Amino acid sequence: MDEVSADIARHPPQLPGAGRVNAPPEGVSATNSGDLVLPAAGGKISVNFRTDPPPLQSVRTKHILAGMAKAPNQTFIARQLNLAPGTVSRALRQEPGIKPETRERVLKLAQQLGYTLRRRSKNGGEAAACYLGVLVQAPESNWTHTRYLVGLSEAAAAMNVTLIVHHVSFQDCLSILHADRQPPAMRDGRVKGICLVHRWPEDVAKRLSEQFAAVSVVHFYPDTGIDLIDMDHRSGMNLLAEHLYALGHRRIGYFGYCGEISWSRARYAGYVEAMTRLGLRLNPAWTVDLTAESFDQHVVAAEVGSQAAALMHQGVTAWMAANEWSGQALTEIARQAGLRVPEDISITGFDSSDTQPRTFIELTSVGVSLSLIGAAALQRLNHRLTNPSEPRRNILFDVSLVEGKSTAPVNPRLKSLPG
């Protein structure tokens, strides 16, 4: 080793941001892309999103910073993006009325510049940071909606909020009610509100809502006052049904009804409405049930696969699956039954933002920005803290059709159902 190399080895150069609190907290790893990899079920993450910004990589941003004499402000950001200062202010505060693409541009540049929005208390000083809990229920290996955290973190940075993220499996949900199993900030009373992500047992959700201000992402709890932030399942199923109808399909089944899961019920209700609105035959036999365990563990029982395959051979030419995973599973059922997708059978999914592996085919589906849902959940929770007696609200985000490769015009050679 030459002298220069030896000196570098003894005294490695310090990159911007090295040694700062940007590094993932203990128990959390990060991929090369910067995505957090959550710990095993029951593990805890304490994420403070008011840390220093990551090292700047953009040449344009470095050029901007080089010409700055003081810390960036909203006017500076507005000038760089050719926007009105008021637009920048509303985007940073996650207020409504801003186009998603505009908000993303503002947030991205603000993060690159190291800008932090500080909220002011009534006496003019900076308001103390608020701790909010994000309780995620899902098997860690199956949790694919991490973009909820993107929206939650962006909103947290703008609201001077520290998020305490806690992840458990469905079997361990009861543990969150015991103080010795709660995150420390939740146990000692610093956490004032919680955001429930995915399906929690009804009794656990109700008891939590009696102790904390609470909102839910995705799952609806009818016997509680928990606000719901979700996508519009009804309009999504109508969009998919209209798409299949335009392709000539008249015998359309529903795969994945589960009475325990609110979004499956809601999507089935949308399926029933769409079929009757389009004047199509609604046959209960064309609905194939799945259990909650099937969705949690991503397993389809053999008898369920046989039921769906038999209906395909009897003339059900199109299927609306409850979500992306069940749509992929149905594609495999069709393949094993000797049928082609989409030449013989058309299949739609739901929620194209789900990052499930596209094992067989890219499904025609509907999608919505999960980061916007995450941000809206935190805004609603913050509002709920100051308005605890306000009636419950269900906030639904509109979805749009995403055409994949799993739908095609009806194949006239398929055998029709009798009668």
Specify the CATH class of 130-231+370-398 in words: alpha beta
Q: Which residue is it, tokens 């949790």?
A: 143
Tell me whether domains 130-231+370-398 and 233-364 share a fold. yes
End-to-end CA gap in the chain: 85
pTM of the model: 0.68
Beta strand 394-397 with 227-231 is parallel
**Using H for helix, E for strand and C for coil, what is the string for the chain?**
CCHHHHHHHHCCCCCCCCCCCCCCCCCCEECCCCCEECCCCCCEEEECCCCCCCCCCCHHHHHHHHCCCCCCCHHHHHHHHCCCHHHHHHHHCCCCCCCHHHHHHHHHHHHHHCCCCCCECCCCCECCCEEEEEEEECCHHHCCCCHHHHHHHHHHHHHCEEEEEEEECHHHHHHHHCHHHCCHHHHCCCEEEEEEECCCCHHHHHHHHHHCEEEEECCCCCCCCCEEEEECHHHHHHHHHHHHHHCCCCCEEEEEECCCCHHHHHHHHHHHHHHHHCCCCCCHHHEEECCHHHHHHCCCCHHHHHHHHHHHHHCCCEEEECCHHHHHHHHHHHHHCCCCCCCCCEEECCCCCCCCCCCCCCCEEEECCHHHHHHHHHHHHHHHHHCCCCCCCEEEECCEEECCCCCCCCCCCCCCCCC
Are 133 and 195 a contacting pair, CB within 8 Å? Answer: yes
Partners of 214 in beta bridges: 194
The distance from CA 271 to its chain's CA centroid, rounded to whole angstroms, is 22
Identity (one letter) of the amino acid at 412?
P
Q: What is the pLDDT of residue 359?
A: 63
Cβ-based neighbours of 94, under 8 Å, separated by 6 or more? 103, 154, 155, 158, 159, 375, 376, 378, 379
Cβ-based neighbours of 5, under 8 Å, separated by 6 or more? none
Q: Which residue is it, tokens 């589906």?
A: 365
Residue 412's CB: how many other CB atoms inside 10 A?
Answer: 8
59-66 helix and 100-113 helix, angle to the nearest 10 degrees? 60
Long-range contacts of 123-126 (CB under 8 A, 24+ apart): 126/160
Ranges of the chain with pLDDT below 50: 1-62, 64-69, 119-128, 141, 416-419
The first and second tokens of residue 406, run together, are: 């799993």
Q: What is the pLDDT of residue 89?
A: 81
Name the CATH architecture for the domain at 233-364: 3-Layer(aba) Sandwich (3.40)
Q: Which of 138, 137, 134 is nearest to 377 (CA)?
A: 134
Partners of 388 in beta bridges: none
Residue 257's CB: how many other CB atoms inside 10 A?
Answer: 17
Q: What is the pLDDT of residue 11?
A: 46
- Domain limits, the chain: 130-231+370-398, 233-364
Q: What is the pLDDT of residue 44?
A: 42
Q: What is the pLDDT of residue 170?
A: 78
